[in-house]
Each structure stands twice: as C-alpha cells, then as structure tokens.
Amino acid sequence: MDISVYRPGELSSADRAAWTSMQSKAHLQGSPELANPFLSPEFTLAVGRCRRGVRIAVVREGGEPAAFFPFQRTASGVGRAIGLGVSDAQGAVHRPGFTWEARELLKACGLAVWEFDHLVEGQAAFAAEASGTFPSPVMDVDQGYEAYLTQLRERSPKFTRTTLAKERKLGRDHDGVRYVHDERDPAALRTLMAWKSAQYRRTGRSDRFAQAWITLLAEQLFHTRSEPFAGILSVLYAGGRPIAAHFGLRTERVLACWFPAYDPAFSKYSPGLVLHLRMAEAAAADGIAYLDLGRGQKEYKDSLKTRELLVS
C-alpha cells in the first residue's frame, strides 16, 4: 500500500472530493455505514481546528485514493479515533473491495495503538481486535414519514398514541407551536447547550460542554456547510420560546443524532419525543434515508427505532 499522512490543512481539494464521493456512493456499493457524517472530511477538519494531533492517512492504489483513515495522535504514538468521546461512527472510509492490514496501516501512521469505541461495520481489519459490539438504533424514513409512522404504530402502538396526543395537547395549551428543522440562530444553539449541560449535571454524568473543545467543535460544525454535509440545529417552539432542540450532523442520506435536550418546564408534553417525530418528518422530506440515534441504551431510542446498526 502507498500510504501518505497529512495534517488537516494539507489535504488537497482533489483528495477531499474523492473522500466525499466514496461516502455519497457508499449505499450503492454495499457499505451504507460509510455515509455517516462522523466519517466525513468536514468532521475531521472541524476536530482538527479544536484538537492537536489530527492526521489523515490517504491510502492510494495506482495513484488514486483507495481509503481515508483519520485519527488523532499523541507524541508517544497513541492513536485515537477522531473526536473520541463524542463521535458516534469511526473507521476508515474506503472504496468497494479495498482491504488492509491493520498493523501495516498503523505503522505507516506512526501509531503504536489505535483506540476506538464506535467502530462501524465492515472494518474487518480493526474489528478483529474489538472487545465488544453494541446496537446503534436507527429510524428509517427512506419510504417517507407516513411509512415510518405506520411502522411505529405497529411496533409501539401505546408509545405512538401517547406521544401524538401530547403533541396535540401542547398545541391546545400553548399558542404558536412551530418546528424549525434547520435553525440558523446561534442563540438557539447556546440555549440547547445550556439545557444539555444542566441535564448532564442533573443525571450525574460528566458535562461535555464543560470541555472547551467540545463547545468549540459544536459551534464550528453549526457554521459548517458544504455539499452534502451540514450541522443541523432543529428546534421546537411554543409561545415564541424554544422548548426542545437537537443538534446533529447530516450527509446526503444520514442524519446523525447527537445532542438532544429540552426545557424541563415542558416535560409533561414529552417535547423531546415530539421533536424527534418532527425531525423524522422533515428528514424524510429532505431525502434522508435514516436517522442514526447513536449507541446507548435509552428507552426513547428503543421506542423510536425501526432497526439497529452495530458498532464495536
């Protein structure tokens, strides 16, 4: 293998275009998991603006890119998946049929070890060393929102009935209920991050937004727009104020769910669930194939999902 390692700013526009092309064709070539936004060049470049040691290995065959392997490297040669701790899909983006030897690739990257916790399927060279495999639930909307809602009613009839009833009650109790799928007001992002920080603390979890680089990363990605990648902030409003919001990343066919939160004052309406149904409806209309809810055992994910992917 011909392997070259670049800093983020050194990646050529031609290589970046080849990377994006591999992702856009992945679903046609039997590797739909490679279309995840966390595997996009835009995510790697954004992490590179927030963290040291970001590198991209480009593997070429016949002079043409065959695979892209982004990673973070410490001075001692410890490698980590890009954005480890906040990235929900990890691995190498490659063209159909390409195989590699893990140790050969790591050696070329100057790595003694590579750590991952959300390795996508189809990465046989890395999966051989995985310590466990976990479900990552998804909401399929490729057949349209009504088809998704029909599946949801069949799988979780009580959940669906209750959630839709709460949405109707929200509309009766509060004027001006509206949903914005792609909100561009940075103030709404700050509101979401404040809600999420409070939720982390309330539930005894580490506050991710207390880490400056994660806050900066979210802000960077909020302002990132390319073809077909974008940071998408979705907001549910009632009475002129936001009551639930979600910030995620999208590619042409995948919306990766990332940071959802809501105003606890509106909890009786389950605004987070209402928001996810509105997101599914808007994503379907926008040509998205599925929403990836991400690894993690949560009751709301089990209720909303149509199937599961696997990460290692």
Tens digits of residue pLDDT in 90-127:
999 999 999 999 999 999 999 999 999 999 999 999 99
Please write down the HEC assignment for all residues of the chain.
Answer: CEEEEECHHHCCHHHHHHHHHHHHHHHHCCCHHHHCHHHCHHHHHHHHCCCCCEEEEEEEECCEEEEEEEEEECCCCEEECCCCCCCCCECCEECCCCCCCHHHHHHHCCCCEEECCCECCCCHHHHCCCCCCEEEEEEECCCCHHHHHHHHHHHCHHHHHHHHHHHHHHHHHCCCCEEECCCCCHHHHHHHHHHHHHHHHHCCCCCHHHCHHHHHHHHHHHCCECCCCEEEEEEEEECCEEEEEEEEEECCCEEEEEEEEECHHHHHHCHHHHHHHHHHHHHHHCCCCEEECCCCCCHHHHHHCCEEEEEC
pLDDT (tens digit per residue) in 188-217: 999 999 999 999 999 999 999 999 999 999
Residue 304 has pLDDT above 90, yes or no: yes
**Which pLDDT score is estimated for 1?**
79
pLDDT (tens digit per residue) in 53-67: 999 999 999 999 999
**Which pLDDT score is estimated for 297?**
87
Residue 277 has pLDDT above 90, yes or no: yes
pTM of the predicted model, to two decimals?
0.97
Percent of all residues in the chain with a pLDDT value above 70, rounded to a whole number: 100
pLDDT (tens digit per residue) in 129-186: 999 999 999 999 999 999 999 999 999 999 999 999 999 999 999 999 999 999 999 9
Residue 2 has pLDDT above 90, yes or no: yes
Rounded to the nearest integer, the mean pLDDT of the chain is 97
Place 291 in a pLDDT band, splitting at 50, 70 and 90: very high
pLDDT (tens digit per residue) in 23-74: 999 999 999 999 999 999 999 999 999 999 999 999 999 999 999 999 999 9
Tell me the CA end-to-end span of the chain in Å, nearest whole number: 25
**Which pLDDT score is estimated for 61?**
96
